[in-house]
Homo-oligomer: A and B are copies of this chain.
Amino acid sequence: MGKNNKMVQSITSRDQDFAQWYTDLCLKAELMDYSDVKGFIIYRPLGYALWENMQAYLDQAFKKTGHENVYMPLVIPESLFQKEKEHVEGFAPETAMITTTGIEDLTERLIIRPTSETLFCTHYQKIINSYRDLPKLYNQWCSVVRWEKTTRPFLRGKEFLWQEGHTAHATEAEARKETLDILEIYRTLGDELLAIPFVTGRKTEREKFAGAVETYSIEALMHDGQALQSGTTHYFGSEFARAFDIMYSDVNNERTYVHQTSWGVSTRLIGAVIMVHGDNEGLVLPPYLAPKQIVIVPIRSEEEGVRAATEYVKQALLDQGFRVFVDDSNKSPGWKFAEHEMKGVPIRIEIGPRDLETDEVILFKRHDRSKTRMKTGDVATSMKDILETIHQDMLHKAQAHVKAHTYQATDYETFKTYIKAGGYVAMSISGDDAEVQIKADTGATARIIPFDQTLLSDICPVTGQKAQQTVLFARAY
């Protein structure tokens, strides 16, 4: 068990240094590796497979609701990028630019897309003419580049993978509905695939997207009590439409500006999965997200009975459609146990000669590290229920964590105490000034304005002014 211990010990304890634990886990679970350019990471097979499974879920949900995939160019001419004022101000400092090629310098600098609003708008201006052309419900899977100063694997990088939806509608009501419908798809992704209970709401003026009229967000609470903005949807009104002249002829043949939205989630969700579910043994994957759901570890596989039972169980699980594999490498069982725990495989089945005497195998559940014995013949037939139970356990645990770390404050000292302890704190505030003060004092930022609004106090505890709305605060990644 020497090697095994060495492997496990090489992860920093989660409670001792959460940031270091996170980085250790990303590397040790082989989710990613660093490249030669700071802020650009390599998505290793396990990390990329998590993204593929999220993609598959979302892509199906988008298509089912009438969305179509397209692919826009990687580059945006600088002049085009500058067309919408607020938008360019928000993104300009982070832009990376192509200025030269192997043959010649470019006459105009080309921005690597940090987001593609300007490209979609230019295209929409060309292809939208009549109300019959609406709505346009486009989505794109791609990578974007933002020249961030401080970077962390999956959470903030100079390049990340994402989807960006861009839609154009005839009416404000339809566009507003779109932002909320997509927000609900994102929330459901959390419930059904990631086992993460997202809190949803609207962003404050200060926190909304550059160029948006309104931004909505899904927020997740990490194990350390910090929040992670995990996806956003934006209602743009007709601001971009005016800047890019996107008009349609309505049924009365009158020229009218379209109403637009955009929305996206990124590989940041991988970071959320790690920090919501992971533990000191490594990654813990919810079973429907896990690329490999079940690993079978034969103990003394040279014995005929072990080999036969391994083959039987594997085949029975494959027949039921589960993602199962056998680790018959020449490593020690202890090493294998540690490795697959590190990589978060939800179920480990140990098949050894002693248990087979009573026709049994050992079933180990990664999320609670519990071991049970089970008749060999029951493994495949029970697996559907076992995985569903694990998923529910993980979701409920995460929900309980959110509940235990969600507070309300009606005075500023209490607010500071809660923020320091970690978690969401709801407080009724007067506006922008209060947010600025809170950030300066505590590092916390407004995460969302919850949809259900009740004022907790008439007066804002920060500014002493009249409270306008209740806002959920947290320190955030």
Contacts and interface: CB of A to CB of B under 8 A. Distances in A.
A356 interface: no
A98 B146 CA distance: 13
Given A37-B77, A329-B132, A71 B161 contact: yes
Contacts of A145: 74
Ordered nearest first, which 6 A-B pairs have the shortest CB separation?
A: A40-B73, A43-B71, A45-B68, A93-B102, A101-B147, A95-B102
11 contacts: A33-B127, A42-B70, A42-B71, A42-B73, A42-B119, A44-B70, A52-B69, A71-B143, A96-B101, A97-B102, A102-B147
Interface in A97-155: 97-103, 109-110, 112, 119, 122-123, 126-127, 132, 138, 142-143, 145, 147
Contacts of A102: 91-97, 147
What is the interface residue range for chain A against chain B? 35 or more
A35 interface: yes
Contact of A100 (B75, B97, B123): B97
A40 B74 contact: yes
A122 B40 CA distance: 14
B48 A69 contact: yes
A456 interface: no
A93 B123 CA distance: 30
A101 B93 CA distance: 7
Given A102-B147, A103-B147, A35 B329 contact: no
A35, A43, A80, A101: most-surrounded residue (chain B CB, <10 A): A101
Nearest to A119: B35
Interface of A: 33, 35-37, 40-45, 48-49, 51-52, 68-75, 77, 80, 91-103, 109-110, 112, 119, 122-123, 126-127, 132, 138, 142-143, 145, 147, 159, 161, 329-330
A41, A68, A98, A142: most-surrounded residue (chain B CB, <10 A): A98
A35, A36, A44, A51: most-surrounded residue (chain B CB, <10 A): A36
Given A37-B110, A75-B159, A93-B103, 5 more contacts: A37-B77, A45-B70, A48-B68, A51-B71, A95-B102
Nearest to A71: B43
Contacts of A92: 102
B74 A42 contact: no
Nearest to A91: B102
A133 to B, nearest CB: 11
A143 B75 CA distance: 12
A48 B70 contact: yes
A100 B99 contact: yes
Nearest to A138: B45
A98 B119 CA distance: 20
A36 B145 CA distance: 19
A37 B159 contact: no
Contacts of A142: 143
Given A42-B70, A45-B68, A33 B97 contact: no
A434 B36 CA distance: 44
